[in-house]
Amino acid sequence: MKKIVIIGAGIVGICTAVELINRGFSVTVIDPHEPGSQTSYGNAGVLTDTSLMIINNPQLLKSLFSLIFKKNTSFRYSKLFVFSRLSWVINFLMFSKRKHMEIAAKVLRELQVLSLKTHKKLINKTKSNNNIVSPGWLKVFKTPLSFEKYTYELNILDKNKAEYTVLNTAEIKKLFPDLQFKYYKGVLFKNSLRVKSPIELSRTYFKNFIKSGGNFYKEICKDIKFINGNWTVFLDKNKKIFDEVIICTGPWSKDFLSNLGYKIPLAWERGYHHQFSTKKDIDISPAIHDVDGGFVFSCNKNKVRITSGVELNFRKAASNDEQINDVVKKLKTILPLKNKLTKTPWLGSRPTIADSLPIIGKAPKHKNLWFNFGHNHIGLSTSAGSGVVLADMIQNKKTSINIDPFLPNRFIL
């Protein structure tokens, strides 16, 4: 039986591990932290097949001046970080072309459809249904202007046959009477699901992996070396030998793979989230993206999770609560917030490749080394699908979707 090790126990690593062990491989996962407790912990909890619009699209260039010179809750940045990573920033902006956006939307649609289908199977298998609500994803717009700008994305959704329903003010109020703000329009994605507790979903999937015979080492992976036809993985106090290695280290992938000579075009979208109690129980099933405000919130009875927009900064830079605090002020006009449930906001880093597509596939320079990282802000929605296609490639099977735009060799690494 071929022995495979996965470095990284975020939702991408977990889903990859589950897929491979179900196919009969001997699978080990290594991570110094509890499974799902890092970047995967702070996501918005949305499972959808409609997150198709990449950030670096033609509209980004039109709004660049505003993003640079005006503070807003959807985007903040460190000037020092931008200057130090200027080549990455320029490369990122170079992908803001309509042709690339349309290709990205098409392949992300395929990956997310596969992923949502696979997640549904895993949810049923692990009896996680009590952690899932539907519909799971709603975008709301405060003004006619913001909705008019969104028609650009609606055209992309239509072109890729994504399903949604446009709601007017009265329909939003009827469906979600607990919202205190009078929104102009809403876009509801009925096929989507919301995960009430992302960390609990990760834990449940991982328990299934262990129950199926998987192994887990809660240790730091210091290095990996290809020796005599096998991979030697160096841990804190010992070493382990495997046939194949899969890197699922998210925002740490760039640093980890530099030791093997890879220059990964990866940066980080840092994000914050906070949790509050509410003055009454809130009956809203989907996670809600306030497009004008640039934040996402979701409710579980008398608790609400609030997720900020993007902060471009060094991964290890000190936390700056200004952005999330501004979000909280805006949310107080929408929901009856009461008390903080988290003493300080959570901070995590979402791994972003220059072309806003994950890197999935065989490493260009090494035998039996595989990559699955860079899933940006949609890692939960693409995790299970990426595990499926990577397992297909490891087994030398034809993938059910077009994998070419995700392959590592699209960059000179």
Residues with Cβ < 8 Å from 311, sequence gap 6 or more? 75, 76, 77, 78, 269, 270, 271, 272, 320, 323
Grade residue 72 by pLDDT with cuts at 50, 70 and 90. confident
pLDDT digits (tens, 9 = 90+) for 248-259: 999 999 999 999
Residues of the chain with pLDDT > 70: what percent? Answer: 99
Q: What does the pLDDT read at residue 413?
A: 65
pLDDT band for position 348 (cuts 50, 70, 90): very high
Q: What is the pLDDT of residues 274-317, one digit of tens each?
A: 999 999 999 999 999 999 999 999 999 999 999 999 999 999 99
Residues 6 or more apart whose CB falls under 8 angstroms from that of 79 comprise none
Give the pLDDT confidence score for residue 71 in this predicted structure.
75
Looking at residues 214-239, what average pLDDT do you find?
95
Does the pLDDT at position 192 exceed 70? yes
The answer to whether 372 touches 248, Cβ cutoff 8 Å, is yes
> Is the pLDDT assigned to residue 141 strictly greater than 70?
yes
Angle between helices 98-125 and 11-22 (to 10 degrees): 60
- pLDDT band at 69; cut points 50, 70, 90: low
Neighbours of 222 (CB within 10 A): 12
Residue pLDDT, tens place only, 79-97 = 999 999 999 999 999 999 9
Mean of the per-residue pLDDT values for the chain? Answer: 95
Cβ neighbours for 174, distance < 8 A, ≥ 6 positions apart: none
Q: What is the set of domains in the chain, with CATH numbers?
A: 3-410 (3.50.50.60)
Six-digit token string for 353: 């490749």
Record the tokens describing residue 197, joined without a space: 């507790």
